[in-house]
Structure 1
Amino acid sequence: MLSRIVFSRFATFQKTRLASTLAFLEHSSSQLTPGSLNTVTAASKLGGVTALLAGTGAREAATAAAQLAGVEKVLVAEDAAYDHGFAEKITPLVAANVAKHGFTHVVAPASSVGRGFIPRLGAALDVQPLSDIIGVESENTFVRPIYAGNIITTVKTSDKIVLLTARGTAFPPAQKGESTAPIEDAETADLSATPTVKFISEHLAKSERPDLGSATRVVSGGRALKDKESFDSLVYPLADALGAAVGASRAAVDAGYADNSLQVGQTGKVVAPELYIALGISGAIQHLAGMKDAKTIVCINKDPECPLFGLADFSLEGDIFQIVPELTEKIKNA
């Protein structure tokens, strides 16, 4: 059961200032990322939103951002210097636009990019960021989980500039609005004084399956699958039969069964699909923090005392090596 506590980090808030929100949005191949759509929804709860996009292809992605409900203006920094989301580059850009336009709030996705530059921006502006928010109660009061989601806190801040990262699974994606916001050039940033950062290379895990972070169905495997061959032969066929994304527990990733990009949990990805199927996953707190918001949870495990049985909507006690192939075959023939 979740506990809920309320506390105030400061005594008062300057309510005389009208909220003005800057939402930093990410894009890939000139397309807005799914998490950016959720970020717009979170930012919209504070009032009108000005979106900021940076990097190669930002102007093309800005066209889609300008059509989202709640977005009143889009700022674009079309410069390859901002590619790859380096915090050392993004921070001065955001700070320059905050200074020029007087934004009272900055919201970013709770992604590797957002988690990278928001703390650095907080240091530059001498304010305390609030990370991983799951609710907005007012312009200075927010809801966020702590202790792996076991406690939900309501936090009140009096910082003049409020910095936030928003958990994507807690907010619905923004939809197209009835009007199109104007697109303008963002305030340029002086990058000459930034620490030396050089992009070397990246290795992307490509898959035709749905993206784990936004999939409506997820099939995850745990350490009980024993080895990579068993993981591949049981998890992937079931996921393909359901049109689902593939996930894994931290134990399975650490054992080499799956790539770390598939890890679901506190130190992996947080998902909230319509259907989550856990194969051979006991249900450690670290894993529950990443999937307990799923609408329907199915657990298959031979251990009758498996903790995840207590959270699951449907539990099946038995040998996964017998049950899963039969289940996969029945789904394929349905």
Structure 2
Amino acid sequence: MKTAPIFMKQWLAANKRTRILSGDQWYLDFAAKILPIIKLSPLFEGDDNAQKNAAISLCVYFQDVIARTGGWKIFSDTYHSLYNTYLPFYQLSDSYIPDEINPEDIAFVLWTLKSHPALNEPDEYALHNPHDKGLSTLAQEIYKLMDENFEEAPINETPSSSWVTGTNLLDTPSTPLPEITPETRLSKNVEYSLEYSSGKPLLYFTTYKELCKFFVEVLKWEDTPSSLLPDLQHNKEFVIYANAKGMLIAPDVAAYFREAHNPMYNAERAAAKGYELFCRPGTCPFDLIKYGMGQGILPEVQLPFPDGKEILHKNWDFIARYYLCEYYEGD
């Protein structure tokens, strides 16, 4: 069966412009060259639209590298300013050259095409191993073809727009959690919580009934159903985080936090499901995630594929930005 062509309008849409530039046909022809390679890879097997989208995205990357401008450079420079390296997930060797084509760049572009944040519902996100063999193999094959055609590739004078998934999320500043000092004005809820816990910021409650008892007896809330956060009555395993900003309450996550005073900590559950804190929007307030990672009390959380623990712990802030989107709060 003959492969349907990639049309100029698809290329222009990827670049977010309507005017055809002198080099556009060359890149469209190059996309047609790499499309058969993509089709032979198991990475996008059976998905014609995804295969074409991959070919176009890789060509936009190639165009940006040749021009040393555009969406790829925006992502790369912004990422470097945040993390002092040009990419997540990959250990960049001395052979990695910014503003040149690199297999690691291509692998990351492919990863963004296989991994996406939640669309409409919190569970509608996609995870993919950035070190997947099929992904790495395809990246090397595409790199070889780009390298062979590097000297011929034209410079397009109009740069592409920001097209790399997650670029806009890198603009959110990440700031340390504020410390509580003698001068800090704390809310009554935080004062009572810290007094009750002997200064421990995190408190743990197994059931909603236990939580309500704490609300009434310790925080001195009114003992009426409407005052005791009734939306939480069907949840369990609560974490309260008393901090300089206020008091956060996170249901159904206590099993992931390893502290001596947390009777619900479960290493197996943390390893199996703890990654949802970073990928599933609304699962946990970001300040609590940030505190947990900063204190080293989320030791078993890991992504559900080989080397998932190392990948998550080395890249957790970027992963949280990428997947939590507006739920990521860096300030």
How does the TM-score come out when normalised to structure 2? 0.24
Higher helix fraction (1 or 2)? 2
Structure showing greater radius of gyration is 2
Higher strand fraction (1 or 2)? 1
How does the TM-score come out when normalised to structure 1? 0.23
